[in-house]
């Protein structure tokens, strides 16, 4: 890691990061329904906690997907511009980017592939 990079590659592109960002994307999609329930039902403590969790997941997913877009995305320039504009629409944009681009990228697939010589649980021999 270079001295000017404060975020390790493993924090963005690894099997654990993939699971965390996918979970954050799913949780972030509950922000609008929870907000609507909070407005409709009033300030119930459980709804406040769910909204707080959704906002944290949205922030985590948004920052991570922006970082991935700028640092690791190797798609064409017009696609990067399109996704940059899509990421503005929080929380739907980062969640879509996570599911459609991040999860299918070559960098993530290479990081999540089992190493040579290591038996995977899913291999059938």
Who has greater pLDDT, 38 or 117?
Answer: 38
CA 52 to chain centre: 17
pLDDT for 124 beyond 60: no
Quote the percentage of the chain above a pLDDT of 90: 62
The packing angle between helices 45-71 and 15-28, to 10°, is: 130
Q: Model confidence over 55-68: pLDDT tens digits?
A: 999 999 999 999 99
Quote the percentage of the chain above a pLDDT of 70: 88
The mean pLDDT value for 44-54 works out to: 93
Q: Which of 89, 100, 101, 103 is nearest to 28 (CA)?
A: 89
pTM attached to this predicted model: 0.82
Position 115 confidence tier, pLDDT thresholds 50, 70, 90 = low
| Average model confidence (pLDDT) across the chain | 87
């Amino acid at each position: 890691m270079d001295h000017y990079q404060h975020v390790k590659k493993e924090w963005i592109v690894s099997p654990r990061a993939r699971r965390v960002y996918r979970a954050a994307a799913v949780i972030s999609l509950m922000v609008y329904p929870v907000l609507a329930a909070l407005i409709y039902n009033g300030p119930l403590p459980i709804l406040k906690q769910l909204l707080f969790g959704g906002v944290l997941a949205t922030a985590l997913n948004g920052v991570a997907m922006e970082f991935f877009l700028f640092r690791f995305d190797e798609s064409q320039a017009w696609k990067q511009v399109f996704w940059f504009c899509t990421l503005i629409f929080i929380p739907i944009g980062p969640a879509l980017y996570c599911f459609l681009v991040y999860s299918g990228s070559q960098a993530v697939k290479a990081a999540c592939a089992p190493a040579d010589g290591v038996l995977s649980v899913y291999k059938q021999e």
